[in-house]
A = this chain, B = another copy of it.
Amino acid sequence: MPRAALIGGGVIGGGWAARFLLNGWDVAIFDPDPEAERKIAEVLANARASLPALSDTPMPAEGRLRYAASIADAVAGADYIQESVSERLDLKHRVYAEIQAAVPEIPLGSSTSGYRPSQLQEGARNPGAILVAHPFNPVYLLPLVEVVPSPASDTAAIERAKAVLVALGMFPLHVRKEIDAHIADRFLEAVWREALWLVKDGIATTEEIDEAIRMGFGLRWGQMGLFETYRIAGGEAGMRHFLAQFGPALAWPWTKLMDVPEFDDELVELIAGQSDAQSGQLSIRELERIRDANLVGFLRVLKERNWGAGRVLLEHDARLREAAPDPTPEPTPETAAPMVMARMQVLPGWIDYNGHMTESRYLFASSETTDAFLRHIGAGMDYVAAGHSYYTAETHIMHLGEAKLGDRLTGSVQVLGADEKRLHVFIRIERDGQAVATLEQMLLHVDMEAGRACPAAPEVLARLMPIAEAHAALARPPAAGRHVGQRKT
């Protein structure tokens, strides 16, 4: 079992601990803060609840975590060392002296946001083992780690460190020339300084600034970066067109960062050439479609969580639904017929790589239909919130056709039987009047707290029973009562 030593256990050190442990490494951690153990346990709890959800293959057994009594104790026997102490150079130098007094040859990564590796290496016993390995919070989820060597760094140590980081599921970005704040934090610092001005000058509040980021370009940057995004923005003419269009803006006061590089042909060619090498194997149209599919995915994630841009989408749906005609006609015993309770359209998220509606979406469409019926008889969300609900006990599905993207479907309910506790229904999912699936279901009325069946409320039964009586006149569907594999009769 490989072993990591972690020096410093704050938000970043705790995140490293989680990355290593959940990927099967044993971890020894040293942090003199008396609260360290509690804080790291909390980061670990977050990581255990999220990192495994990224994996579609069983993760290795979690490693063992040990709180070491000293730096020497922590690094004994370590295969890799990561330092995440406060951003003070003298402190880091003292920590490295202690580490390298014990294990001078082991690769030693620093989580520093800003120091260059040659600054970190000053006065070290073995400068070659020291490099920057700068992660991003939350360390257990974000793949980026900037690996920055100095000319004094040992190539073998760098390669060993990168192999360790890859084994943790990370993306080591090898920064070829050292520079203050590496690469990513230079952007973060530029944005931060601009943001401070906007707040100080009263242009925008912190909330307005955050909305300006997460409702727009933030969504783009999670899947493509600055240059690939702008390559697309250039349209068919690509990067050179974009550069020609926005080059002049460099001279304008669009930010307080006015110390700009000379925007000459040489720079245009350098950027356009690098962009071709990076993205030129895909056409602008292909890049657009990839970008759009990614954005749709991100937006749907946020919609499921009612957060950020997802909240905007949910509110838009609610407005559209209010403007649409009511799909639920009032039934009467005289007009007994299966009741159309839902009208749906096959959405892109419902189809598989073959363009067919995925199997589980037929049950989803049926649930939408049943839910609408339950709302209709007064057993909707308010009823559930008060502690009672109809639970599905058993379902039988006949797959009779294939729905495709954009198809409009209706879901209808025929009540096969009902009593105080039970509701037996037959659902037809139809396209143009032809069933693509039928579903037979038995639902039980449940007291949710007690966890057992109980009679439905009188006002619900008063809505349900007349429908059940009216539907008793309907022909029983041949598929009702069928078991899987039964010969057709």
Contacts and interface: CB of A to CB of B under 8 A. Distances in A.
Contact of A294 (B190, B215, B296, B305): B305
Given A345-B58, A347-B55, A142 B256 contact: no
A253 B217 CA distance: 26
A62 to B, nearest CB: 12
Contact of A424 (B46, B305, B367, B484): B484
A476 interface: no
Contact of A54 (B190, B204, B303): B303
Interface in A461-484: 480-484
A424 B485 contact: yes
B53 A309 contact: no
Contacts of A189: 249, 254-255, 257
Interface stretch (A63-71, A72-80, A100-108, A192-200): A192-200
A376 interface: no
26 contacts: A46-B288, A55-B320, A56-B347, A57-B324, A138-B295, A141-B295, A143-B309, A170-B312, A171-B215, A184-B213, A187-B213, A190-B194, A192-B226, A195-B227, A196-B250, A209-B225, A210-B225, A214-B222, A214-B225, A219-B222, A300-B301, A354-B448, A358-B367, A394-B482, A396-B396, A483-B483
A274 B396 contact: no
B210 A228 contact: yes
Contacts of A56: 303, 317, 347
Contacts of A317: 55-57
A332 interface: no
Interface residues of A, number: 185
Contacts of A481: 483-485
A10 B205 contact: no
A300 B54 contact: yes
Contact of A260 (B196, B207, B221): B196
Contacts of A233: 11, 137
Given A50-B295, A394-B398, A194 B205 contact: no
Interface in A303-335: 303-305, 307-309, 312-313, 316-317, 319-321, 323-324, 327
Contacts of A203: 175-177, 179, 183
A177 B458 CA distance: 58
List 5 tightest A-B contacts by C-beta distance, closest first: A210-B225, A218-B221, A297-B301, A144-B216, A257-B257
A273 to B, nearest CB: 9
A285 interface: yes
A142 B215 contact: yes
A167 interface: yes
A194 B55 contact: no
A212 interface: yes
A91 interface: no
Contacts of A206: 226-228, 271, 274-275, 278
A388 B441 CA distance: 31
Contacts of A52: 345, 347-348
A284 to B, nearest CB: 10
Contacts of A484: 394-396, 424, 440-442, 480-481
